Amino acid sequence: MSALSDAQTEAHADAHPGHQLERLAFFSDAVFAIAITLLVIEIHPPHVHDPADTGAYLRALAGLWPEMFGFLISFYSIGNFWVGHHRAFSMAAHWSERLLLPNLVMLLAIVAMPFVTGFMSINGSARVPTVLYSGWLLFAALVNLWLQRRVLTPPVLSDQVAPERIGTIRRRGQAVTLGAACALIACSLAPWPGTGMAALLTIPLWRMLLDARARTAGRRRR
């Protein structure tokens, strides 16, 4: 009876692939939205005691720069992962239960970002928080590659997608992974742990290098 029920469920999913994919995408979008909103909770408005002049308020706001820095980095990172998730699933045409596990692990990585961001922001000059942040970002990037691999290959991938488009999405995911790896190495080895956060700026550079490599390989094949 159980086997029959499972078979009926799979048949129903195969008959309505769009419904299953939409449910997964909507649920994922909600988790991304909640995680990216929770980032701002780590930024606590400063309390300035009276009597206070303009300078006191400005100094209080300036004291929030570690929290603001962490907020901006994580907002960009989560936003980047969401964009990649959206682009990848826009090319999916067939449902597969093999999407569930990597997608859930991806969401696990995302929902923990507010915590590791707050931990780093409060203790930004210490090595352990910055290493934890960079390491978690690398973990999220690797899971993102895992998920993209499932989405951008048969049987999930639409037959109408051009190989060049698939390559572009994969290279973007690879650039984030390489940038996070650079940040983790820099945080672990550099005298000032904050250097690792600057290393995240290499993500656009990695993307340009990977795109240039792909163009060169394409010309050679011709």
Check residue 17 and give its pLDDT: 58
Determine the pLDDT at residue 16: 56
Identify whether 155 is preceded by a cis peptide bond (ω within 30 of 0).
Answer: yes
Mark residue 95 as left, alpha or beta (left: phi above 0; alpha: psi -120 to 50; beta: remaining).
Answer: beta
**Residue entry with tokens 């691999």:** 149
pLDDT at 55: 84
Q: How confident is the model at residue 96 (pLDDT cuts 50, 70, 90)?
A: very high
Closest among 93, 71, 68, 85 to 31, alpha carbons compared: 85
Give the number of domains in the chain: 1
Residue-wise pLDDT for 1-41, tens only, equals: 444 444 444 444 454 557 899 999 999 999 999 999 999 88
Residues 95, 97, 102, CA angle at the centre, nearest 5°? 110
| Each residue's pLDDT tens digit, 136-194 | 999 999 999 999 999 999 999 998 899 999 999 999 999 999 999 999 999 888 878 77
Mean of pLDDT over the chain: 87
Q: pTM of the predicted model, to two decimals?
A: 0.85
Whole domain around residue 47: which residue ranges? 2-221
Q: Kindly report, residue by residue over 26-79, the tens digit of the pLDDT.
A: 999 999 999 999 998 878 888 888 877 888 888 888 888 888 888 998 999 999
For range 123-147, the mean pLDDT: 92
